[in-house]
Amino acid sequence: MVEWTEQERNIITSIFSNLDYDDVGPKALIRCLIVYPWTQRYFASFGNLYNADAIKTNPNIQAHGTRVLHGLDRAVKNMDNIKATYAELSVLHSEKLHVDPDNFKLLADCLTIVIAAKMGSGFTPEMQATFQKFLAVVVSALGRQYH
Binding interface with ligand HNI (CB under 6 A): 39, 42-43, 64, 67-68, 71-72, 89, 92-93, 97, 99, 103-104, 107-108, 138, 142
Least distance between ligand HNI and beta carbon 124 (Å): 22
Nearer to ligand HNI, 62 or 103 (CB): 103
* Vertex 40 angle, CA 108 and 103, to 5°: 30
Nearer to ligand HNI, 7 or 146 (CB): 146
Least distance between ligand HNI and beta carbon 6 (Å): 25
Q: What DSSP character marks residue 123?
A: S
Nearer to ligand HNI, 7 or 88 (CB): 88
Least distance between ligand HNI and beta carbon 36 (Å): 8
Under 8 Å between Cβ of 4 and 79: yes
Nearer to ligand HNI, 11 or 138 (CB): 138
Q: Which residue is nearest to ligand HNI (CB)?
A: 71
Interatomic CA distance for residues 137 and 83, integer angstroms:
8
Who contacts 33 (Cβ-Cβ below 8 Å, separation ≥6)? Answer: 39, 40, 43, 49, 55, 61
The total of other beta-carbon atoms located within 10 Å of residue 87's CB is 13
Go through the chain and tell me how many residues it has. 147
Least distance between ligand HNI and beta carbon 105 (Å): 8
Alpha-carbon torsion (141, 38, 33, 40), positive or negative: negative
Least distance between ligand HNI and beta carbon 125 (Å): 22
